[in-house]
Amino acid sequence: MDLLELRDVYKIFERGWIRKRQGAQAVSGVSLSIEEKGILALVGESGCGKTTVGRISLGLIPPTKGKVLYRGRDIWREDVLRPTGQLVHQDSYSALNPVRTVYQTLAAPLHRHGTPRRNLKHEVQELLQFVGIMPPEYFFNKYPYHLSGGMRQRLVLARSIIPKPKFIVADEPVSMIDASLRLSILDLMLKLNRELGVAFLYITHDLATARYFAREGKIAVMYLGKIVEAGQMGAVLEHPVHPYLQALLSAAPIPDPRLARQRKLMALREAEPPSAESPPSGCRFHPRCPYAQEICAREEPELSEYANGHRAACHLMETLPEWRLI
C-alpha cells in the first residue's frame, strides 16, 4: 500500500467576493502516489500547480474533486485522520519567527510533543548536531537574521522532524540558497530519508537538483495543471517522451562547454505558456509544441504506459523522433 495517493485530483480557485465565478484551474486530473520511505520529484515551470499539489497532499486545502488517500483512507472523509506530514518552505526566513532564537524555535515544539523541560537543552543540542548546525551551543541564542540561508533551511528541517513525520513536502527548498550549498541541503534531506525513513515530495523547477535528490526515486513532470510524464527518474530522463520534457532538457545547463556549443535547443512555437484560467483544448502543450498535429488540438491525451512504468500523455509518443542532447 502507498503511503500517500492522489486520485484524479482537481483544484479550481474561484474569483470574486460577492458573485463567485470560476478562476484558475490550478490542478486538473492529477494522480500521484508516494511509497513508504520513497521520494517523488514533482517538476515543472512556475505556475503549473506544483505547490497546490503539495498543499493538497498535506491536507492544507481540500481538492475541488478527487481523493487524497493516506494509507488507503480518504483524509477528507474521515475527520480524525490527518496525514503525518510536514512542509518545508522555499523561503526559510519567512518560515521562521524572527523574534525567536534558535533554541526557542526548537524547544517549544519539542516540549509540545512530550519532551520534559529538564531535557530540552539536550534534545535541542542533538537536533542541531543531526542537521549539521555546529557547534550547537554557539547557535542557541542566535536569531534567524544571524544565520545564512543554508543554516536557516537546516533549522527548518530540524523543526520539521520533531513530530516524527512520515513524509515531508519540500517546496523549492534550495532555490533561495547559494549554489555552492545546495548539495549539502539535499544531502541532509537524503539523510532524513535513509536514516529516519521520511518520504519526500520534492517540488522544483530545477531538473538538475531533482535528478540528484530523487536519483533512486520517481519523477512526475507537470504542465499547466496536468501530469504529462512520470516514471522512474533514470528511465524518464534517459528516454524523455513528451515534447515538454524534451524542451526542458534541451534548455538545461550543460557543464561541458564543448557539448553546450554543439547542442540544439528545441524551438517552441510560442514562448509563453497559456493562462490557467482558459487552458487550450486537447493537449495543453499543443500551442507550443513543434510536433503538434490536428489531433493534439482536438483530443486530450491520457497518461498511458510507454514502457515499464514509464508513462506519458502524448498522442504522438510512438512516432516522435528520439530525443538526443546533441
What's the pLDDT at 223? 96
Residues of the chain with pLDDT under 70: 16-22, 79-83, 325-326
Residue 227 main-chain phi, psi, to 5 deg:
-80, 125
Predicted confidence at residue 212, as pLDDT, reads: 95
Residue 326's pLDDT is what? 59
Which tens digit of pLDDT belongs to each residue from 191-220?
Answer: 999 999 999 999 999 999 999 999 999 999
Coil vs helix vs strand at 161: coil
User: CA distances (Å), 17 to each of 20, 194, 294, 322, in order?
Assistant: 6, 47, 40, 49
Quickly list H helices, 179-315. Answer: 179-196, 207-213, 233-238, 243-251, 257-262, 294-298
pLDDT for the residue numbered 244: 94
**pLDDT at residue number 318:** 87
Give the three cell numbers for residue 192: 532524513
The superfamily CATH assigns to domain 4-84+165-312 is P-loop containing nucleotide triphosphate hydrolases (3.40.50.300)
Residue 70, beta-bridge partner list: 4, 73
pLDDT at 296: 95
DSSP string, 66-95: EEEEETTEETTT-TT----EEEE-S-HHHH
Structural domain spans, the chain: 4-84+165-312
* Residues 248 and 254 sit within 8 Å (Cβ to Cβ): no
Whose grid coordinates read 533512486? 216
In sequence order, the β-bridge partners of residue 220 are 42, 230
b (16+ CB within 10 A) / e for 103-136: bebbbeebeeeebeeeebeebbbebbebbbbeeb
Contacts of 210 (CB under 8 A, 6+ apart): 41, 43, 202, 204, 219, 233
Residues in a beta bridge with 185: none
**What pLDDT is stored for residue 22 in this prediction?**
65
pLDDT of residue 32: 95
Q: Edge-to-edge strand order for the sheet containing 21-34?
A: 21-34, 4-15, 65-70, 73-74
